[in-house]
Structure 1
Amino acid sequence: MERREVAAVLAYIGRLDPRSIRTAPGEARDQLAQWHELLHDVPFATNHGWDVREAIRAHVLDSPYPILPVDVAREWRRYRRARLDRHTDPTPTADPDDLAAWRAELLGTRQAVATGAVAPSTHRQITSSDPHSDVEARLRAVGSCIPPAVRADLVGYRPARAAREATIAEGRPDALSVPCQWCHADRGESCRSRRVGPDGRARGSAPRATPHPTRLDLAAAKLTRQGAV
């Protein structure tokens, strides 16, 4: 805050709590200098939740003691920490090979969030927002989030996924695209072999290497309907 903003803050405090008013010229000047020294880096208000008047009013209502400049400064620090705790550092749009630009954008975003210039980017916003235009262009060029060479190297580590991708590429029914009515596996989950004991309760639920035949029939029927549309 500038000196004139600090003076406005002191005038506001004086209206709420007359005990803080200084009438002598020297005392008023010293009070203004003290408050400005501690609050020069504290904004008067931001677009995202901070207003120094709200902090002052809350202190007057909650505390029997006169407010001090350190009370306002500490409240501002708590506000900054709370915002940064909610921030999740979205991926910068700068070229990751340009470390200086990458770091500058990352620190600039954090500083904007800490000072209340922009809202924190929460984890949900990162995952649900649209990808950056550069990312969309790269996906269109590659055709997948995983390049073909990397996908080929991963075949030995995830054979079930590789077999499913091969099935889809060949135009055959994808059993995991529909839920299984036999073992009640959801879409995308493998079928399970359920053993039932003499009392009628399930004793095991081991994953199956192959889907149940009824699930394959449902996937084939779905593929047929899609082809007829």
Structure 2
Amino acid sequence: MDRREVAAVLAYTGRLDPRTIRTGTGEVGDQIAQWQELLGDVPFATEHGWDVREAIRAHVLDSPYPILPVDVARRWRAHRRDRLDRHTDPTPGADPDDPVAWRAELLHGRRAVAAGVAAPSTHRQINPCVPSRQVEERLREGGSCIPPAVRAELAHYRPARAAREEAVAQGQPDALRVQCEWCHAPAGAPCRQRQAGPDGAARGNAVRATPHPSRIDLAAARSVRQPDP
């Protein structure tokens, strides 16, 4: 900020906190010189999120002490650090074989972000997107984002899921929606083929491709009492 901007900042500060007002001509000049010395590299406002008036107002609301120029400078530095922490360097357009130009472009981008001239680059973030109408229509027609041919190939590697999908396609109740009372598999998990040895200890715990019959009967009974909407 230059001398004129510092004077405007002091006038605004005096309206919010009269304790910072100086009446003597010499005191006013010394105050402007002190503030300009500490805020010389602090902008009055930027296009991306910084306004010195907001920083002063926040200090007056949060602190019982009169604001000092160092308080404004510290808020600006915190704001600048936050912007740089959220910035991801985009790939420079310079020749990668020219390290001087490559580095100069990176530094120029970082200085622009730190000064508030440019917004932080977020090209590496996962931004929310809305699927297109064509994608939604294809999902409604096919019922799934997995093509039928691929689903048939995957059936060999996940037999329990394939059997569940086939049963639902035939109009049978989804047995995995309920807990199995035989092997105690929770809802959503496939049944287990438990085997016991002569001593009564469990010897096997393999996944069954199909649910236990009692689980299928339980799912059918519950679907009759609570039909799907």
TM-score, length-scaled by structure 2: 0.59
Q: Percent identity?
A: 69
Q: Which residue in the other structure is 1:201 paired with?
A: 191
Amino acid at match of 2:24: A
Pick closer, same or farther for the CA change 1:89–1:195 going to 2, 3 Å. same
Q: CA deviation at 1:123?
A: 3.8
For residues 1-60 of structure 1, give each alpha carbon's deviation from its aligned partner in whole angstroms, at most 9, with x where no partner exists: 001110110111011111000111121111111100000000000000100001001111
Amino acid at match of 1:120: P
Q: Which residue in the other structure is 2:68 paired with?
A: 68
Unaligned runs of 5+ in 2: 129-144, 161-181, 184-189, 193-205, 209-229
Structure showing greater radius of gyration is: 2
Alpha-carbon distance in 1 for matches of 2:84, 2:207: 46
Alpha-carbon distance in 2 for matches of 1:51, 1:190: 58
Amino acid at match of 2:72: V
Q: Which residue in the other structure is 1:77 paired with?
A: 77
Unaligned runs of 5+ in 1: 129-177, 206-229
Amino acid at match of 2:17: D
Contact residue 80 and residue 115 of structure 2 kept, 8 A: yes
Query: Is 1:95 matched with 2:106?
Result: no
For residues 86-142 of structure 1, give each alpha carbon's deviation from its aligned partner in whole angstroms, at most 9, with x where no partner exists: 1010110111101000000000000000110000001446999xxxxxxxxxxxxxx
TM-score, length-scaled by structure 1: 0.59
Aligned length: 152
SS at match of 1:193: coil
Which residues of 2 match residues 96-175 of structure 1 at below 5 A? 96-124=96-124
Q: Which residue in the other structure is 1:40 paired with?
A: 40
Alpha-carbon distance in 2 for matches of 1:63, 1:118: 31
Alpha-carbon distance in 2 for matches of 1:190, 1:113: 48
Pick closer, same or farther for the CA change 1:78–1:204 going to 2, 3 Å. farther
Alpha-carbon distance in 1 for matches of 2:9, 2:56: 9
Alpha-carbon distance in 2 for matches of 1:181, 1:126: 29
